[in-house]
């Protein structure tokens, strides 16, 4: 929000920049030019939207971390709950951004053990599924329609898989990151028969783009549709339905024309022991060991031994996620934690701050909600219309006003626990004028343990036992911290405030009652990763003494103000940010400070055309 509650940080927002203190002459000149331009073009709004494209100083955002959001729909039945489903739930299922098991649920036909296990897994709330393999078309169709109705805007790709499929989600995301979810296309293992343009093998899994899912839903809502709701071969019927809306299968091959999806066991593909019909059905020529690397051959031999010895156990499947298959390189940062972002705002900021966040870093979270009161009679028509386009958390009885930020943040965390506790690893509170580099946050949190009672943010050493985090810089609660926070608020003897006080202080006090403490959010050079002020304030170090006395770590300026993998800044005002596409001359580096970033934070207009040569 506009001020960092409870710690008086707002008094530092207007700090005057001292451009001459220990700063080289070229940077001084740059600073003076930018200040002049800043005052001329203060009303530009486009630049914030472009901020996601900028490299902040030495912050390197790994391209594969900017991965598509994938919803996995895993088709199963209760009789497989305790083996297949248990294995998927313990391995690749949680690697999807969200996943559901698609199954009938008839308690009178289930064992007590199956019923108990069902409470521990994410089962899609789909009614009237007919049991039996002959009704797989119905089950899959209902799954896709459910995905459209509930999650169409939340994900880029929608994947159907079976309970005996093994899906390397990290590689799927890397592959799909090169594809366009706005195109009417699907990906999987291609057969060339039965359907115009062929179809995907159901057991190998297949992915529908967002546009394909939209057209699939449209086809089934069409009163003249020829799409089967049940019966037939599932993969064939889904493909036929998609063809009625001009959705076609794409090519799922690597650069060496090798298949990425596989409808049979690894060993069968490796040795080429295929039945004749497969060779006739397959769209692409079948390949075997002759086109497999030595590394993959050795891997195969190891896996043969492993699965032979452990053929009667379930452990090998569960541990399969830890195996690197030959030349399949899974980038470690792709194995990133799942993050739910809770962004505090109010309707008066919908058309500037919220619009900017929604167009930039918000969608980079695995899921995000704006936390706001919603009182139409106090809103403009434009605000009401825009509210229909953004993900607002369905939280009732939020009291308007900055003085009630504790209530708003508390209700947000309780909502996250009740609806999404098992779906995410970390739960992040941010303000609508926070800029969050989600890719760096994920990289940082991937090294932390979400089962520990810990939180991360910018640390103050005052007001609360063990310190607290600055609210405006954003802070992250582990899953265990969120559980304890919820437990604290449900405790009838709790001292946690439901409202009032300063949000960041009160949230911290409540967490301490359940022994949740702040962790260290520093890089290897002891530089801060979360930042409660503007970049320019941190860079030049023009911060008043009272603020310095509150910080847990000594303040640093210049290159050492901010870590290479910086996560956040506060007080980022949409109307003052620049669009950098107009800068056509390569900008060199000086003292490891990227002047493009410097221009950005100095609020140059999109209309400015400035050429810099720094020696």
**pLDDT at 322 exceeding the cut of 60:** no
Q: What is the reported pLDDT for 475?
A: 96
**pLDDT at 599 exceeding the cut of 90:** no
Q: How far apart are CA 597 and CA 603, in angstroms?
A: 10
**Average pLDDT of the residues in 497-503:** 91
| Sign of the four-CA dihedral 378, 383, 387, 393 | negative
Q: What is the reported pLDDT for 550?
A: 81
User: How many CB atoms lie under 10 A from the CB of residue 608?
Assistant: 19
Q: What is the reported pLDDT for 335?
A: 55
Q: How far apart are CA 64 and CA 177, in angstroms?
A: 8
**pLDDT at 558 exceeding the cut of 70:** yes
Give the model's confidence band at 289: pLDDT under 50 very low, under 70 low, under 90 confident, else very high.
Answer: low
Helix, strand, coil share (%) of the chain residues, nearest 5: 40, 10, 45
What domains, with CATH codes, occur in the chain? 68-333 (3.90.550), 341-575 (3.90.550)
What is the length of the chain? 615
Instruction: Answer whether 156's CB lies under 8 Å from 173's CB.
Output: no
pLDDT in tens, 7-42: 443 333 333 333 334 445 555 455 544 444 444 333
Q: What is the reported pLDDT for 282?
A: 83
Q: What is the reported pLDDT for 542?
A: 74
Q: What is the reported pLDDT for 564?
A: 81
Q: How far apart are CA 87 and CA 101, in angstroms?
A: 12
Most distant CA pair in the chain, distance: 80
**pLDDT at 301 exceeding the cut of 90:** no
Instruction: Answer whether 44's CB lies under 8 Å from 605's CB.
Output: yes
Give the residue from 218, 221, 223, 224 showing the smallest Cα distance to 246. Answer: 218
User: pLDDT higher for 461 or 113?
Assistant: 113
Instruction: Answer whether 219's CB lies under 8 Å from 225's CB.
Output: yes
**Average pLDDT of the residues in 245-263:** 92
Q: How far is CA 345 from the centre of its chain?
A: 20
Instruction: Answer whether 381's CB lies under 8 Å from 413's CB.
Output: no
pLDDT in tens, 180-219: 998 999 999 999 888 888 899 898 999 999 999 999 999 9
Q: How far apart are CA 253 and CA 233, in angstroms?
A: 25
* C-alpha dihedral (364, 584, 579, 532), degrees to nearest 10: 70
Q: What are phi and psi of 501, to 5 degrees?
A: 75, -175
**Average pLDDT of the residues in 521-534:** 88
**Average pLDDT of the residues in 493-513:** 92
Which residues is 161 bridged to in the sheet? 74
Q: What is the reported pLDDT for 549?
A: 76
Q: Is 51 exposed, middle or buried (0-12, 13-18, 19+ CB in 10 A)?
A: buried
User: pLDDT higher for 598 or 250?
Assistant: 250
Q: What is the reported pLDDT for 160?
A: 97
% of the chain at pLDDT higher than 70:
74
Q: What is the reported pLDDT for 307?
A: 43
Give the residue from 65, 124, 136, 120 showing the smallest Cα distance to 99. Answer: 124
């Amino acid at each position: 929000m506009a001020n960092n509650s409870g710690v008086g940080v707002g008094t530092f927002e207007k700090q005057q920049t001292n451009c001459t203190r220990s700063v080289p002459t070229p940077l001084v000149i740059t600073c003076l030019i930018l200040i002049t331009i800043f005052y001329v073009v203060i009303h530009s709004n486009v630049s914030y939207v472009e901020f996601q494209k900028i490299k902040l100083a030495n912050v390197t955002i790994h391209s594969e971390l900017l991965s598509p959001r994938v919803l996995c729909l895993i088709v199963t039945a209760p009789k497989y709950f305790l083996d297949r489903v248990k294995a998927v739930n313990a391995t690749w299922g949680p690697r999807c951004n969200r996943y559901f098991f698609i199954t009938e649920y008839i308690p009178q036909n289930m064992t007590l053990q199956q019923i108990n296990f069902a409470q521990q897994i994410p089962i899609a709330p789909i009614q009237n599924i007919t049991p039996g393999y002959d009704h797989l078309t119905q089950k899959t169709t209902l799954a896709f329609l459910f995905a459209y109705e509930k999650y169409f805007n939340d994900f880029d790709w929608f994947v159907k898989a079976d309970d005996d499929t093994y899906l390397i989600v990290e590689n799927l995301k890397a592959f799909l990151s090169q594809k366009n979810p706005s195109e009417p296309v699907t990906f999987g293992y291609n057969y060339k028969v039965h359907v115009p343009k062929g179809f995907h093998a159901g057991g190998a899994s297949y992915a529908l783009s967002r546009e394909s899912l939209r057209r699939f839903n449209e086809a089934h809502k069409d009163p003249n549709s020829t799409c089967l709701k049940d019966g037939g071969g599932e993969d064939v019927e889904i493909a036929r339905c998609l063809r009625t809306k001009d959705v076609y299968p794409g090519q799922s091959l690597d650069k060496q024309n090798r298949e990425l999806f596989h409808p049979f066991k690894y060993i069968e593909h490796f040795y080429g022991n295929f039945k004749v019909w497969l060779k006739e059905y397959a769209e692409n020529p079948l390949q075997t060991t002759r086109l497999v690397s030595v590394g993959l051959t050795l891997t195969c031999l190891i896996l043969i031994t492993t699965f032979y010895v452990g053929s009667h156990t379930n452990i090998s499947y569960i541990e399969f996620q830890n195996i690197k298959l030959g030349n399949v390189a899974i980038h470690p940062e792709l194995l990133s934690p799942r993050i739910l972002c809770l962004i505090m705002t109010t309707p008066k900021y919908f058309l500037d701050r919220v619009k900017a966040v929604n167009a930039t870093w918000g969608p980079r979270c695995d899921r995000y909600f704006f936390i706001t009161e919603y009182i139409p009679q106090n809103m403009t028509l434009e605000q009401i219309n825009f509210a229909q386009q953004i993900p607002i958390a369905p939280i009732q009885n939020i009291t308007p006003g900055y003085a009630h930020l504790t209530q708003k943040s508390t209700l947000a965390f309780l909502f996250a626990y009740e609806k999404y506790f098992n779906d995410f690893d970390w739960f992040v509170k941010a303000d609508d004028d926070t800029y969050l580099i989600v890719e760096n946050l994920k990289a940082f949190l991937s090294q932390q343990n979400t089962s520990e009672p810990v939180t991360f943010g910018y640390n103050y050493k005052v007001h609360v036992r063990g310190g607290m985090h600055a609210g405006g810089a954003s802070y992250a609660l582990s899953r265990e911290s969120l559980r304890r926070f919820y437990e604290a608020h449900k405790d009838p003897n709790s001292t946690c405030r439901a409202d009032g006080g300063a949000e960041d202080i009160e949230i911290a006090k409540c967490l301490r009652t359940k022994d949740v403490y702040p962790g260290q959010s520093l890089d290897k050079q002891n530089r801060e990763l979360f930042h409660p002020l503007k970049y320019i304030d941190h860079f030049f170090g023009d911060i008043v003494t009272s603020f310095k006395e509150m910080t847990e770590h000594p303040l640093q300026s210049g290159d050492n103000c901010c870590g290479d993998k910086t996560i956040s800044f506060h007080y980022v005002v949409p109307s003052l940010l620049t669009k950098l596409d107009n800068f056509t001359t390569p900008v060199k580096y000086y003292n490891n400070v990227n002047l493009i970033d410097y221009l950005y934070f100095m609020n140059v207009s999109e209309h400015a055309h400035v050429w810099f040569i720094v020696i």
